[in-house]
Structure 1
């Protein structure tokens, strides 16, 4: 069935139908309601504490949240004194995040596989429960590193968390345990494949009986922060030839450095 080309596109580039938008609105409403429950509030406190731990930020940083959802983590980062932007593929979530944050953060609707930002535009890029929902994780991580000048931080649900395994065994649907969660070893492997042997730090968070952060291999959330190197664009330098000279002047002029002019 043909679909009108004017419809909005999702993160994978496919055109969203009215039914897609209805499903997105339902899922967004369910997630928003869950955040208001005690379990949702504990998750939010734990994930924000984990973000603070691994990001090790400086107030005034420019931070991009890829897959910002309803903007809860952007709100937290703004309160910590950072200049924030968010990218969200879902039109419903992007609109709600924009309404929630007002002028405190700019929300852009776009594709995590092809970020609409310049190289090194942000000091840090964070992805909270985002990579597990993407098909091409390496491409998403590479794009995050491209626009980050200092570090990229990834937080994922931990597939080895006992409570997550019990929930899957019982067939219970959890708002955060969606997609394909990545454990610590998986995050390290992905970072090494995409970014090479860069310095990293990790931590994890548990929500029961109270939210706390530490190096718990079986924590409900795992986070890894990787240092990145700012990308510098190489510009070709035009080479000009020195004017012709004769005799001894020609010998002295050979290889003269002043014959190469840097053009900015």
Structure 2
């Protein structure tokens, strides 16, 4: 699925609504909970399907050196406007990434598998380019939210969410194990109540403001740690590369992807 300008605007507008702001807060809390065990400073993190850059903007603030890829030019343009020169952004297909094995410390797949034509291939590629681990977030098919906004009931009108491929936690566990050889070290969920209850006031704040086991919430996230993995490109070699050289290397054009115009070109 390729997102157009209408989708990008709708995506941004949703997170400005009261329910969207509350949902974003809970997703970010879940993300922070999952990455708490990861080192951050001078660690390279790639987001596959970065969209408008909402989450890698947060991860930049957490201390990661960030790179994003998306196959929608419109989404990448929005991400570039948000991030400026804080991230390297590439236009390419997440199911065939133009990066070397173990080029990044970590890779993020956050609400992107649902819209992929081949989620297993996307997971394999994410694992291939990661030396340290994966962070995977997905819409939970075993949730109230799926039955209200994800399932295509006979009386329901088509929508982006209803056309998405929602997953169960067990399905994602299996895909991660098959694609990386590792099982999730931690898996949790947020937002167990229906969307009308996503409110920043009592009692709904208490209900939806807690991190739950994986099957309860509308959104589930899991962290995968690649322990004792032998990287093809050793991590110690990256750490000895001066930051300016490393930055230049990460921005080199590669035949399978297009980095897109820089922020100055977009502002002309």
- TM norm structure 2: 0.73
Q: 4+ residue stretches of structure 1 with deviation over 4 A?
A: 172-178
What is the aligned partner in structure 1 of residue 195 from structure 2? none
TM-superposed deviation, 1:30: 1.2
Give, in whole Å, the separation in 1 of the partners of 2:167 and 2:211. 18
Contact 1:148 1:230 in 2 (8 A): no
TM-superposed deviation, 1:127: 0.5
After TM superposition, the structure 1 stretch with the greater mean CA deviation from structure 2, 224-233 or 28-37, is 224-233
Give, in whole Å, the separation in 2 of the partners of 1:216 and 1:136. 23
Matched, 1:37 2:17: yes
Alignment match of 1:131 (pick from 93, 98, 113): 113
What is the aligned partner in structure 2 of residue 52 from structure 1? 32
Contact 1:156 1:182 in 2 (8 A): yes
Give, in whole Å, the separation in 2 of the partners of 1:122 and 1:171. 42
- SS where residue 47 of structure 2 aligns? strand
Contact 1:157 1:176 in 2 (8 A): no
Contact 1:31 1:175 in 2 (8 A): no
- SS where residue 202 of structure 1 aligns? strand
Change (3 A) 1:230 1:141: farther
TM-superposed deviation, 1:214: 2.8
Deviations 1:66-119 (A, max 9, x none): 101010101110111111111111000001101111112121111101112121
- TM norm structure 1: 0.74
Give, in whole Å, the separation in 2 of the partners of 1:39 and 1:231. 42
The unaligned stretches of length 5 or more in structure 1 are 1-9, 12-22, 234-264
Deviations 1:175-226 (A, max 9, x none): 6565101121111111122222545321111173233323252201111222
What is the aligned partner in structure 2 of residue 63 from structure 1? 45
- SS where residue 120 of structure 1 aligns? coil
Matched, 1:191 2:176: yes
What is the aligned partner in structure 2 of residue 155 from structure 1? 137
Give, in whole Å, the separation in 1 of the partners of 2:58 and 2:39. 14
Give, in whole Å, the separation in 2 of the partners of 1:174 and 1:216. 25
What is the aligned partner in structure 2 of residue 18 from structure 1? none
The unaligned stretches of length 5 or more in structure 2 are 193-197, 199-203, 234-268
Give, in whole Å, the separation in 1 of the partners of 2:35 and 2:160. 24
Number of equivalenced pairs: 213
Alignment match of 1:206 (pick from 191, 202, 217): 191
Give, in whole Å, the separation in 1 of the partners of 2:168 and 2:141. 6
Q: Which has the larger radius of gyration?
A: 1
Give me the CA root mean square deviation.
2.2
Give, in whole Å, the separation in 2 of the partners of 1:63 and 1:24. 26
Contact 1:155 1:223 in 2 (8 A): yes
